[in-house]
Structure 1
Amino acid sequence: MTQEQSGDTFISHLVELRSRLMRAVLSVLVVFFVLFMYPGPSVIYDVLAQPMLASLPQGTRMIATGVITPFMVPVKVTLLASFMVALPIVLYQGWAFVAPGLYKHEKRLALPLIFSSTVLFIAGMAFCYFVVFKTVFHFIATFAPDSITPAPDIEAYLNFVMTMFLAFGITFEVPIAVILLVKTGMTSVAKLREIRGYVIVGAFIIAAVVTPPDVVSQFLLAAPLCLLYELGIIFASFMKKREAESDSDSRELES
């Protein structure tokens, strides 16, 4: 390949990348417009705030200390919801960009991994919303003195929620990371089982850094991380067993 041909190929890749990015962004904006019109940013934020509101004293509301915060925070929440709804389209655009450069067996592995990683990330967020928030906010509320009326700021609440969503979403991706490490040959199932103790300690250290300084939220992050690590080992072991059986059958057919 000449230098001129190489340059044309590079430019064509950049054009393709720009096209895929524009389609991904457009899909998010379309969903954002639909959600903005119905049910609206205020309703979406109220749903997100429900776990906190349920733990506050009867009649207590959250507050907004900024001038434009009552407008910007619901809009940010709507944008986050739009991204999650449009995530399959966004991931498909990424897949369509890299697919031509993959081998056939890599394509067979990539699609299930993309689908499962999306499902696991959303599952992590759902676990955080329905289980962690309810438990943690109730636990914190029990320690509030009677002389204090909690009134959380909506912007601080949004930052907290996004951090927790990201932490639990990434945590639920652990099985995918374990499978990829074994599949690419970077480590083995036996080695992963050997370092199980270090993983457990690391899980609680990560939970202590990411989550609020209370035992409940730290345990609710560390425990799923350890369980999902074990689940990843089980799936990786199953896949390696299937590969060994497939290779054995191929040798028997050749002989």
Structure 2
Amino acid sequence: MNKPYMEEEQQEMSFVDHLEELRWHIIRSLASILVFSIIAFLAKGFVFHDIILAPARTDFFSYRFLCELGERIGSDVLCITDLGFTIQSRQMSGQFAMHIMVSLVLGLSCAFPYAFWEIWRFVKPGLYPQEQKSSRGAVFFVSILFIMGLLFGYYVVSPISINFLAGYQVDPTIQNEFDLSSYISTLTTLCLACAFMFEMPVIVYFFTKAGLLSPEIMKLYRRHSIIVILVLSAVITPPDVISQLLIAMPLLVLYEVSISVSRSIQKSDLKRLNENNTY
């Protein structure tokens, strides 16, 4: 057997080994999502009454906070005493289908830090030592931003959007009776959209490290980015201005934070490059 063939076979085996390793990382990630989904499925009463349907009741934390805030400033405008809608299930399999869907969404949300850690374990060895050092804490920051976005979507964007849509009427004779699937899809879309959009600084960090982004480029296209953020907010939210602004405003803040992150990475890389040239 000649040498080139042996080297080619070793490279092929190495590639197959990498695929096998990736497969097990993915399997463990999916298994964690499945485990949390099963737990959520079994805890049906708590999940639906205390989590999913909580923003549809006036005793929800956000509504109580607004009411207390209104009392402190001497105004009852912020106090929400009636949401003015009912939730129904008009399909035979509607509640069961929503039970499964909610369980999967909660499974993904709860298992996201571990699932990302598994994928990161596969990616990290392929980085250069300096890249591994500079990306230290990636799992922590990705997880924190994801949780922050999820909580922001659940406690801020969702209740205000639900209150607005529930109270909107084109005629007083029309009653708002929402289907369960419509309510849950609105809630989950808003929460997950906020969760993933809060990852903007991390994405900018890695793009800057890869040389695909710079603070100058982000400043140059700031106006374009504002338009994109507003359009994106309009697409992923219900058709009301309040929801769009509630998502657009933190995204604009995160965009400015991302510019600072990109600037910091660029300065760090330039400093390291100058030190290497000195030696």
TM-score under structure 1 normalisation? 0.86
SS at match of 1:62: strand
* 1:77 to 2:102 alignment: yes
* 1:161 to 2:187 alignment: yes
1:165-204: CA deviation from partner (whole Å, max 9, x where unpaired): 2322232122222223322222321221122111112211
Aligned match for 1:121, one of 142, 146, 150: 146
User: Structure 1 vs Structure 2: percent identity of aligned residues?
Assistant: 29
Moved more, 173-182 or 207-216: 173-182
- State how far apart, in whole Å, the 1-side matches of 2:206 and 2:246 are: 25
- State how far apart, in whole Å, the 2-side matches of 1:16 and 1:125 are: 30
8 Å contact from structure 2 (residues 208, 265) kept in 1: no
Change (3 A) 1:11 1:250: closer
Number of aligned positions between the proteins: 251
SS at match of 2:91: coil
* 1:67 to 2:92 alignment: yes
Which structure 2 segments of 5+ residues have no match?
A: 1-5, 59-79
Which structure 1 segments of 5+ residues have no match?
A: none
Aligned match for 2:20, one of 15, 24, 29: 15
- State how far apart, in whole Å, the 1-side matches of 2:233 and 2:131 are: 33
- State how far apart, in whole Å, the 2-side matches of 1:138 and 1:189 are: 39
Aligned counterpart, 1:178: 204
- State how far apart, in whole Å, the 1-side matches of 2:230 and 2:36 are: 37
- State how far apart, in whole Å, the 1-side matches of 2:32 and 2:167 are: 43
- State how far apart, in whole Å, the 2-side matches of 1:76 and 1:22 are: 20
Aligned counterpart, 1:194: 220
Change (3 A) 1:249 1:8: closer
Aligned match for 2:48, one of 32, 45, 48: 45
SS at match of 2:137: helix
Structure 1 segment 93-132 matched on structure 2, within 5 A: 93-132=118-157
**1:130 shift after superposition:** 0.6
Amino acid at match of 2:189: T
SS at match of 1:86: helix
Amino acid at match of 1:127: F
**1:251 shift after superposition:** 5.4
* 1:30 to 2:55 alignment: no
Change (3 A) 1:196 1:230: same
- State how far apart, in whole Å, the 1-side matches of 2:123 and 2:264 are: 27
1:57-113: CA deviation from partner (whole Å, max 9, x where unpaired): 579641111212222312321222122222222112112222322211222234423
Aligned counterpart, 2:114: 89
- State how far apart, in whole Å, the 2-side matches of 1:178 and 1:33 are: 35
Amino acid at match of 1:165: C
Aligned counterpart, 1:205: 231
8 Å contact from structure 2 (residues 36, 110) kept in 1: yes
Change (3 A) 1:246 1:78: same
Q: CA RMSD in A?
A: 2.5
Change (3 A) 1:141 1:160: closer
- State how far apart, in whole Å, the 1-side matches of 2:252 and 2:135 are: 25
